[in-house]
Structure 1
Amino acid sequence: MNEFNTHLQIYIHEHTLIIFLIYVSLAGLFLVAYYLLVVLICIPVCYVQLKLGAFYKRGIVGIFSFLVPILKGVAVSLLLITFIRCLLHGVELSYCLYFTFASLAYPFIWSASNHGNHSFRFEKVYHSPSDEYFHDKFLQKTDHIGEGGVLLWYAALCLLATWTIIYIVTVRGTSFFGKIVYGLTPLTLLLLGIVLTYGYAAIPGASGAFNRLIGNPGQHRASFKAHDEKMNIQDMVESKLGSPRPWVDALHLHINSVGLWSGILPTLGAQLYHRKYIINAAWILQLLVYSILPHVAMFALAPYIDPRDSGGFIAAANGIKPGLSFLFTAIPASFDRLELSPFIAFCLYLCIFLFGLLHQALHLLTIMDNLFPATPKFLMTYFKRRECIVAVFCFTAFLLSLPFAAQSGIHLYAVVNDYVDRLLFTLVIISTVPFITGYIKQELLYLPIERACMSLWYGLSSLITAVLLVYYFAVYVYPRPVVGYDERWAEKLGWFIAAGPVILGLFLGAAHAVHSNKGTVKQRFMQSLRTDSFPASDPSQEYTSGDTADTGLQIAAKSPSNEHVIPEPLHKTETEVFIRPLDNSDMAKV
């Protein structure tokens, strides 16, 4: 199940433009940054978080509550940020769902025959009829966020359908979702194969798109001459890899796709058996599929995307993922211009929707499995069943997403997307303490040198991530406002979205940790700073000296709660034997 953490939409949104640049060095150097960060950041984070989830059999909130209770709010903050991301992903999925069924009509509803060939209308410049349709017919966007506009009924209906499907997928928990994954994954890969085969067999010039992706040295040199550039390969490497942009882009891809600091990895680890080879196979398989599957999808979609068709508001506005213009303007323009099959368009958008659905459901299940155990008892008594709580959760998410379905919804989307991760670096740094504490105390499993090296690697990856996020915010985000001067009030809303989950999660987690203890305020606070020993596990699932080649140490485990468990005294069991004396008749028999 964990190999489908990869979110195809995020990959397209962030990096299609980079991959389609003419120079092979740009695409190649991004892949260099991509795979170097996989080794430097993804391996230690996936390894440690999956392993702790498998050992503790808990999600991220349960692990933090056991190791450093005062910092359990960090886990809550990460889950709140994950929930806000899910709201944005739900909007993107609703767009895909709309285009999935809209693409079945022929001629396409965004085709030139339906809208004419006017590229300039009402002081608005459009790059293609699909660009005009998406902005004026589908979004019907207002000029700025201050103009609320009306609620678009079809957008709201697609949102409702999206969250209804999400409810059906997540209502029965992770075990039921795992069965759904077994059914949806082959279907999704089949659709991807159909799209790939048709694209390279039926679209003229598809081989050129393939060459642009893998790079052609001859075209590379010709492009240099055409643009009068005299940079050699060494200068190109130094200028591109020396720039932080490809590194930051690759980091954002890893964070959003793998879910490094979203709570997913410990939850996935909790579903694994406590066996060395299983845990190692899990993180290796996850990163292996993550390193291959997005590139396969990229090759499949390459013939359908012409970067020249990407334009309009969503291609130039700050805060909007650049790939939205590729998905909803460039790809429809190619289907219209080349008169491609509507069935292939249906398969393409359905494939993207299913990939996004798996990603969305996994994130929401992580949130539910971590926060539902902390639900107040009176709410559990009132709803009684998990199905009711999940229904309330999904309906609440739908209501929170409704403002995105208004005419000004795309402006609100830009504000939320631009601000939601601005303070993520603080949680990355603080969360390092519980994770390293939990890993380094595994005295039963590994030698101290191994635990120290892996903990150092994890700490280094967290530090690099935080530094890159701070640099990205200071250089690329903060100087470029996402709203106009007259709408600067929306920046306050953005900072509330950025700081609210961090402050609220830290405060609620610390307050709950102190309140759960007994004694005076000082005693409760000191108890919330404690770190418990590693919990006892099922002996059938523990490492043994034969598995690890290490000497196992017998550790007395503590109970996660503050109450000391007093063993019951052993009682001596006595057995009395009574021997009946022989009477006269018995003596006669003898």
Structure 2
Amino acid sequence: MDRWMNFFFLKDTTDVQNSHVGTTDENLDRGNWSSSTDYLLSLIGGAVGLGNVWRFPYLAYKNGGGAFLIPYTIMLAFAGLPLFFLECSFGQFASLGPISVWKAVPIMQGVGVTVVLVSTLVAIYYNCIIGYSIYYLFASFQFPLPWSECFEWSDENCSTQPKEYCNITSANGSFVLVNSTWLNENNATCEGSNIFSISVQSPSEQYWDKVALHRSSGLDESGGVIWHLALCLLLAWIVVGAALFKGIKSSGKVVYFTAIFPYVVLIILLIRGVTLEGAREGIEYYIGTHSDISKLSNAEVWKDAATQIFFSLSTAWGGLVALSSYNKFNNNCYSDAIVVCVTNCATSVFAGFVIFSVLGHIAYISHKPVSEVAQSGFGLAFIAYPEALSKLPISPLWSILFFFMLLTLGIDSQFAIIETIATALQDEFPKYLRSRRALITVVVCVVLYLFGLPCVTGAGIYWVNLIDHFCSGWVLIIAAVLEFVGIIYIYGGNRFIEDIEMMIGKKNCYFWLWWRACWFFISPCLLTIILVWSLVTFSAPSYGTIPYPVWGTVLGWFILAFCIIWIPIFAVFNFAKAKGGILERFRQICSPTPDWGPYLECHRGERYKNQESPQRIQDHEGSMI
């Protein structure tokens, strides 16, 4: 009984075992990855997500096809990889989460709070998308697939073929509208000027809106909870909670499946896709002869390349810092960063062939150009691609594989997000929470599930889209720019390089030329340009052609402000907490705290030999907050 009381009521005891710490771990307070492969696959799983499949292929097609790979690769080298390596090194060096790691520069502590808040909001809606995938996965165990035809749930606008009518003159001189069926039965013809089409919706589109989502007319009309989605969301959270129950010790094993399985499915779908009629035309649109290098003169193309690289690598979310904090001190985070970034980008390009080979087929059989069937985001994942799969032989099999792939792609990205939140909490309150990792996981999953229920109402998709529009854009770019300012300019770029060399070994000056150029100038300037350009070209959020009410847009700006307001709040708070005059206080909050440095004494060397023990300070003084 005492054991359970201690578990739930957070009494400070020493007899509660750290289930997330192994006997062979280097850091017996926080634990380490069981192997470097666990860490590498967790990084790949966190970085390679839904955006690689449903966003990059469409961006490449829209922005010049194969020519888009030029700005994409340049942005990877100048913006994505430098920030990725910086965050991995930062977390690994101090063995601390995304808030506590800012002991290096206390004035920037609010940046850590901001990224954790953003991760929390993203976790709420991202698991809803995983819930959609689970629903479609279950729905795929039917033949025929429920979105293959206009069944009883459809309305008069549903059709698998365009509806064409002919305006003819009857015997008495009146005008009559007849369809193509009547013309065929009566051996009649229609003059071209008298033919017109009526807009229709495909079965997959109506199934998505009417059956899966029960979508309302707008954000103003929420309706009740859609219980089949609420149950799918609950199942998604149960899977996440179970995988993270023992922290990295359990999730590090699950990712062997969730990170590798999507590649198996992508290969299977590609083999099937390229054998379909019309596949070649689809691939030509994606990255072949339809490539248009002249589009590189358009600034929008470069902005799209930069934002896709930035977001697909999951930088500035706090996840890279959190996952890397469990590395052993001398892990080669440099090679890990290279491998993950290259793998992530190669996956995006490869997924494009999978997507456009099948879209080319649906364009072929529907007698439409590829441009009319190409979509991104929800439209691709839950309308266009399912429609294409429904037209294949043994369509349920292909649909099951596709949606199970989406589930695994999303779920390991969610592992990284929840690990970020849990790590931040246990590092800020180690005296009470570090030995109760299972409790943290359960509480976080339950609370976020309850907060996610509005996203599974009739207006749920509008909430998902609104949060995504405001939380996964400017906030993260602001946080990334401030990371460069804090680590490179305030903490000191040269000092940071020396910290990295303590972990991966001494490197010659030529090795650091590229990283210095990017960290000190190129990367922060690029991100600042992207931020300004995004703000200048801001457009009010909408879901398809449905605009948001004014109060919805205002709420979105409020959410954005709520996330970033903690940056100045914690700067002022730490300034007020410091001692001395104004200049002395400013110096203190721009300098590392006494316990900053390698977590374990055996790694501190001469540079940090006078460092105070982080564990002793935590036990006596508590968290930074």
TM-score scaled by length of structure 1: 0.78
CA 1:449–1:59: 2 relative to 1, 3 Å: farther
Quote how far apart the aligned CAs of 1:248 are. 1.9
Quote how far apart the aligned CAs of 1:147 are. 1.3
CA 1:182–1:12: 2 relative to 1, 3 Å: closer
Matched, 1:331 2:331: no
Report the AA paired with residue 58 of structure 2.
L
Mapped partners of 1:483, 1:82: distance in 2: 28
Quote how far apart the aligned CAs of 1:499 are. 0.7
**Residue of structure 1 in register with 2:311 after alignment:** 256
CA 1:451–1:32: 2 relative to 1, 3 Å: closer
Quote how far apart the aligned CAs of 1:118 are. 6.7
Equivalences for 1:110-509 in 2 at 5 Å? Answer: 110-112=147-149, 114-115=151-152, 120=157, 125-201=199-275, 203-216=276-289, 220=290, 237-238=293-294, 240-275=295-330, 278-305=332-359, 322-375=376-429, 380=433, 385-420=436-471, 421-436=473-488, 437=491, 439-442=493-496, 443=498, 445=501, 454-459=515-520, 460-477=522-539, 487-504=549-566, 506-508=568-570
Deviations 1:187-223 (A, max 9, x none): 333333332333334x33333333433403xxx4xxx
**Residue of structure 2 in register with 1:558 after alignment:** 611
Mapped partners of 2:574, 2:242: distance in 1: 32
CA 1:63–1:451: 2 relative to 1, 3 Å: farther
Mapped partners of 1:215, 1:329: distance in 2: 25
Checking the alignment, whether the CA contact within 8 Å between 2:329 and 2:603 is kept in structure 1 is yes
Quote how far apart the aligned CAs of 1:434 are. 2.4
263-272 vs 111-120, greater mean Cα deviation: 111-120
CA 1:386–1:291: 2 relative to 1, 3 Å: same
**Residue of structure 2 in register with 1:29 after alignment:** 67
Give the match's secondary structure for 1:477.
coil
Quote how far apart the aligned CAs of 1:274 are. 3.7
Report the AA paired with residue 210 of structure 1.
I
Mapped partners of 1:6, 1:485: distance in 2: 31
Mapped partners of 1:160, 1:15: distance in 2: 29
CA 1:536–1:405: 2 relative to 1, 3 Å: closer
Report the AA paired with residue 496 of structure 1.
F
Quote how far apart the aligned CAs of 1:333 are. 1.3
Deviations 1:515-557 (A, max 9, x none): 4x678999766533323587357687689xxxxxxxxx75644
Give the match's secondary structure for 2:474.
coil
Mapped partners of 1:408, 1:528: distance in 2: 45
Quote how far apart the aligned CAs of 1:101 are. 1.3
Mapped partners of 1:346, 1:500: distance in 2: 40
Mapped partners of 2:445, 2:574: distance in 1: 25
Mapped partners of 1:281, 1:542: distance in 2: 23
Quote how far apart the aligned CAs of 1:396 are. 1.0
Indicate the percent of aligned positions where both proteins have the same amino acid: 21
Mapped partners of 1:272, 1:486: distance in 2: 44
Mapped partners of 2:328, 2:446: distance in 1: 34
CA 1:340–1:140: 2 relative to 1, 3 Å: same
Checking the alignment, whether the CA contact within 8 Å between 2:119 and 2:420 is kept in structure 1 is no
Checking the alignment, whether the CA contact within 8 Å between 1:142 and 1:149 is kept in structure 2 is yes
Checking the alignment, whether the CA contact within 8 Å between 1:77 and 1:506 is kept in structure 2 is no
Checking the alignment, whether the CA contact within 8 Å between 1:112 and 1:336 is kept in structure 2 is no
Report the AA paired with residue 248 of structure 2.
T
Checking the alignment, whether the CA contact within 8 Å between 2:153 and 2:211 is kept in structure 1 is no
Mapped partners of 1:80, 1:46: distance in 2: 20
Mapped partners of 1:104, 1:55: distance in 2: 48
Mapped partners of 1:493, 1:354: distance in 2: 32
Report the AA paired with residue 70 of structure 1.
I
**Residue of structure 1 in register with 2:15 after alignment:** none
Matched, 1:57 2:95: yes
Checking the alignment, whether the CA contact within 8 Å between 2:262 and 2:409 is kept in structure 1 is yes
Mapped partners of 1:187, 1:471: distance in 2: 38
**Greater fraction of residues in helix:** 1
Mapped partners of 1:530, 1:542: distance in 2: 18
**Residue of structure 1 in register with 2:141 after alignment:** 104
490-499 vs 297-306, greater mean Cα deviation: 297-306
Give the match's secondary structure for 1:286.
helix
Report the AA paired with residue 335 of structure 1.
L
CA 1:348–1:439: 2 relative to 1, 3 Å: same
Mapped partners of 1:412, 1:138: distance in 2: 16
**Residue of structure 2 in register with 1:528 after alignment:** 589
Gaps spanning 5+ residues in structure 1: where?
221-232, 544-552, 565-590
Checking the alignment, whether the CA contact within 8 Å between 1:53 and 1:60 is kept in structure 2 is yes
178-187 vs 26-35, greater mean Cα deviation: 178-187
Report the AA paired with residue 351 of structure 2.
A
Deviations 1:233-277 (A, max 9, x none): 9xx534x1121222222222222221121112223332334448x
